[in-house]
Amino acid sequence: MQAGLALLLLRSAFGFATGDIIPFAAATLVIGLFWVGAKYTRVPDISALIVVFGGVGGREF
């Protein structure tokens, strides 16, 4: 059951990611850099907050 739901989520996420490839790549890069930084240094992992606030702040209403 969980595998089926995970595959559906992956399929949905892939559709969103291919539609907006540049923001998706930028968010992935930020998360990856903080992941590597947190692994080798004492940098706190705040990448999720940066990605969320960047996405909210970059949208026009």
Q: Identify the band that residue 57 occupies on the pLDDT scale cut at 50, 70 and 90.
A: low
Determine the Cα–Cα distance for residues 9 and 14; give it in Å rounded to an integer.
8
Q: Which amino acid is at 27?
A: A
Q: Using alpha carbons, select from 52, 61, 60 the residue that is nearest to residue 23.
A: 52
Tokens representing residue 17 in the block: 């990611």
Per-residue pLDDT tens over the stretch 5-53: 888 887 877 777 677 778 778 888 888 888 888 788 776 667 767 777 7
Q: Quick one: pLDDT at residue 61?
A: 42
Q: Specify the higher pLDDT residue, 2 or 46.
A: 2
